[in-house]
Copies of this chain bind each other. A is one copy, B any other.
Amino acid sequence: MASSTAANPTAAMLVIGDEILSGRTRDANMHHLAGELTRHGIDLKEARFVADDHDAIIAAVRALSKAYDHVFTSGGIGPTHDDITAEAVAAAFDTPIGVRDDARAILEAHYRQTGMELNEARLRMARIPEGAELIENPVSAAPGFTLGNVHVMAGVPAIFISMLAGLLPRISGGAPLVSQSLRVMRGEGEIAGPLARLAADFPDLSIGSYPFQKDGAFGTNIVIRGQDGARVDAAMLRLAEEMKA
C-alpha cells in the first residue's frame, strides 16, 4: 500500500538471534511492537533481523540509529555466552560498559527474594553502558536500557511486552493514525483502477488493499489510514460509492 506522509517520529526495530534466522523460533515481538507504535503515533519504517554476531549487531545499530528517531532491539541480553547485545550496542556508540551498581542492586534484590544465587553468569545481566537509562523488567528483574536513541530489550515475549509498556510513555509520539476499512467481495485485480485513482486524489492518506480468498471466492479488504479523520471519512465515502457500482 501507499506510504503515509505523516510527520510522526520514525522508528526501526532490530531483532537479534540465530534461533529466529534458523527457523527454530518464530519472532512475535516485531508484530507486537508494530501495533504499539502505530497506536502511539510512531511510524515503524524498517525492521532488521540479524544473527548473534558482534559485527552484524554493531553495523545494524549504527545504520538504524542514524536513519531513524528511535531504534528498538529485542534479544540477546540474557546470562549466557551468546547474549552479546549489550556489548555490541555499547561498542556501536563507542561507550564503555561494565557491571553498574544500580543494575546490580536490582538483581541482588530479585535473587535474594527468589532464593536463587546471583552467580557470575547472572551478574552479566547488570552490564550496562555508561550513561544509559535503565528500562524496568517487571517479569524477571534484569533490566533493559536506553543508550542514545536505542532501546535495548529482552527477546522473551512476556518480558519484551512488559519492558515496552514501561518505555513507551517516556517516548513522545506524534498524532495517532485514524483507520477505516471496507471489505468487498471482488478480487484486487478488479478494483485496482479505482483504488489507484483514489490514492492519487488523496496523497495525504495511505490506502492499502489486502486480498483474501474465502470459500473459493476472491475478496479484498481495503484500509484507509491518515492523521486527519475528516479526510479519511471523505475518502471512505467515495470508495463506498464506487464499490456499490
Q: Which residues of A contact B (CB under 8 A)?
A: 1-4, 17-27, 30-38, 44-53, 56, 78-82, 116, 119-122, 124-125, 156, 177, 187-190, 192-193, 195-196, 199, 206-211, 223, 225
Contacts and interface: CB of A to CB of B under 8 A. Distances in A.
B78 A2 contact: no
Contacts of A190: 119, 121
Given A21-B46, A24-B223, A46-B48, A78 B34 contact: no
B18 A206 contact: yes
B211 A78 contact: yes
Contacts of A51: 3, 45-46
A82 B34 contact: no
Contacts of A223: 19, 24
A45 B51 CA distance: 6
A19 B1 contact: yes
Contacts of A47: 21, 47-49
A51 B2 CA distance: 9
Each complex incorporates copies of this chain amounting to 2
Contact of A20 (B34, B53, B81, B199): B34
Given A82-B2, A199-B82, A211-B156, A116 B22 contact: no
A25 B214 CA distance: 17
A124 B193 CA distance: 11
Contacts of A187: 116
Contacts of A125: 189
A2 B50 contact: no
Nearest to A63: B63
8 contacts: A1-B17, A1-B18, A3-B53, A20-B31, A21-B44, A81-B195, A116-B187, A125-B189
Contacts of A206: 18
Contacts of A17: 1
Nearest to A54: B3
A209 B82 contact: yes
Contacts of A23: 31-38, 44
Contacts of A45: 21, 50-51, 56
